[in-house]
Structure 1
């Protein structure tokens, strides 16, 4: 979660001038899980009056994008006695548990009603802190924008600012003909971003041709991309149409662009600069009107990649955040995944303890890994098998530092 934000006049629950008076980045709560699935993804900005903010059954009000009406959590498992958050000078928070008997956890650690206040550090807040209130409600405490962003489908789903920025970038660049370089770890949804750009562009009615550059053999990569004449290489029994020709008037998506063979990279650069290419074995130059989108999970600013080509590719860059940096979106992704995987069966219900574990995990495989695990859980549940999370049980949380005096 980043700290930049756009100034807006409308807010979740207070006038803009009140929010502007907040000394540090805005902190808020996102509903990760709730017995009423429609509440998942709702957000509330925390208002620190006198350095203190209270959370309980009846406050604060949570809101979803596009709605002018806020609603408290209003769940019987949540106490009316407040949990208090005290803002410290260094940007950390001190959390004081409710004096009630309500079950309360912070990042998987049970906080007793009589416990001293616990400090949530700046980095902890940046990562997103998972709170469990009672037996059924999970919240993510972290940095938020002035307004919640709308939810979307697929790997681009999310209510946090990170995915809102990605969706905004897609809308901006789709209206242009610029080459786009999509950066992101494996499983973050790079191809889905490319598909969204194509679908929103003036080329949407034409073909989008996709290729994983890591699958192209080094000896025939040029023929795959630019085509070849009959006899251009051993086994070329006829003329061959390349991917650039197939994508004419449309979009060509080159995934894993960092694996492009070195000898092909200057050919790609020429095609990007002039729209011209020469099929293997041909004396004629061909032209293709192609919008190029590339993606990688590697650092291309190295001697192993053609730097002039990189400069052309990065005319517009979209960086997709890893799932561990958008923890506030995990509940939305889980709910969406369960809804889709359930098919015609009744809505799949998972124990809140499992949902909590999923929300606490860092997901090195990102959205793809989460989706695959949800598939296994749904299949196990439908078969009546035990629900297991091998390798996902979170490590015991470190003992928190004592609250400041």
Structure 2
């Protein structure tokens, strides 16, 4: 989009899709809960976000409706364009003028930190289902947001520690040069060193405009590290893996996708991605519950897109938020975002994407995490049959201990 800030915000609002559910005549008179998906509709994370997130949010509303609780819900959608000023301006307009009660997704850590501050200032809700920076439940935790899905510590702890233990004890990082990439590299480097490995170097590239990684990959090759850690996501990860394969780098280095999701792997192709290690808390073919969820939501998803971990996180968080709003009453949920977050922490979580879990005092959602390796082409049975499960990290061990996060909400 181009034009003035006012024009930009108007255009963002025009992109919005709206979903409305009401179960009874009583609900028609009840307050309407308004959700705003602030995501990537046109950039490097569009397939992990965008219309797929809208589909999964609508599925959460439909599944909640099936339980018979009377609520009315509306959903808006806008593109943050990976620009902190644009994302923050949309969030402020939504909270101040559009009556949005809860913003979700925000798959850009810099923007997410700004939205978390806004939610606290306005006493609204922020469901951080897309950003990865662990600061959201660490030093930047707050009473008006929860951190769902994944984070840099979780990803680093899983992939980094397991890779070192398997012999990958020297690392080089290819890092997106913004808050998310820095945090992911920092946390993974710490996990590698704690496990007995060492970091031999890094290459940081401009985000989001970089498409040619050749010079950075040559630096990685020259380091003679055993492992190339990809501290990026979306199309950046796809392109860097493809180019590493083309250069023959994958014959000499093990690639670890530190935030690599199923759609990314499919875009790479099994030939280029085979052997890639990654950590995810959700996979459509993981168990009976994930398969059941996938079958329900697939008709709503964009063509040729299966639900990713990002999409599953949006489903899970919205479903739990609606449960909390129903328990306390929608009027009270709208009146105080802080009270709604407290209710979310008080209720146990359970859904078909992540199974049973909870929201900790620091706002971190707790669930198991899985280690996967991409199958070789000879083992792939269908377009989305790409992962081999290699390990499971229990929920309480998968996330950073609260004592190490520095969250001021945690009682000591």
**Normalized per residue, which structure has more helix?**
2
TM-score, length basis structure 2: 0.28
TM-score, length basis structure 1: 0.29
